[in-house]
């Protein structure tokens, strides 16, 4: 699937997340599935590591669908999440995500959330 194939879905449209994620063949893909009010639902498929970063003005909630997501923190203990686990990273907390195998997760965040990468 290309980026254009996964443009945001419209209201009153059924979305099957399993079918959507199974169609992704890249090692990393993260995109907005839909927006509700001022929040968005992102689907991420990843294997590997996402760099250290923070979201200054918005919390980030993860829901794991498949695999195992590791979230490292600079000032907190590492957390390992499994299918059906939910975890919230508060606004401003520096973190990175890692997946040793293919992992699929949903991320709920504010539509205007920004990402600052830490060097």
Structure confidence at residue 11 as a pLDDT band (50, 70, 90)? confident
> What was the pLDDT predicted at 98?
98
Q: What are the sequence ranges of the domains in the chain?
A: 27-117
What does the block give as tokens for 52? 């250290």
Homologous superfamily of 27-117: Jelly Rolls (2.60.120.10)
Q: Per-residue pLDDT for 1 more than 80?
A: no
Strands (E), 1-119: 28-36, 39-49, 53-54, 60-66, 69-73, 79-81, 86-89, 95-110, 116-117
Q: Look at residue 4 in the predicted model and tell me its pLDDT.
A: 46
Report, as an integer, the average pLDDT of 104-110. 98
The pLDDT value recorded for residue 113 is: 96
C-alpha 10/C-alpha 12 separation (Å) is 6
* Contacts with 56 (C-beta within 8 Å, 6 or more apart), sequence order: 91, 92, 114, 116
The whole-angstrom distance between residue 79's C-alpha and the CA centroid of its chain comes to 15
What's the whole-number mean pLDDT along residues 7-21? Answer: 87
Q: Which residue has the tokens 């169609």?
A: 23
């Amino acid at each position: 699937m290309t980026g254009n194939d996964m443009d945001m879905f419209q209201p009153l449209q059924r979305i099957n997340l399993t079918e959507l994620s199974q169609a992704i063949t890249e090692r990393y893909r993260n995109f907005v599935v839909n927006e509700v009010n001022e929040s968005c639902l992102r689907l991420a498929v990843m294997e590997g590591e996402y760099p250290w970063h923070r979201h200054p003005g918005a919390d980030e909630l993860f829901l794991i669908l498949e695999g195992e997501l590791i979230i490292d923190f600079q000032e907190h203990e590492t957390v390992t999440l499994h299918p059906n686990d939910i975890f919230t990273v508060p606004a401003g907390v520096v973190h990175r995500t890692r997946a040793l195998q293919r992992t699929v997760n949903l991320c709920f965040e504010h539509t205007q959330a920004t990402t600052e990468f830490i060097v």
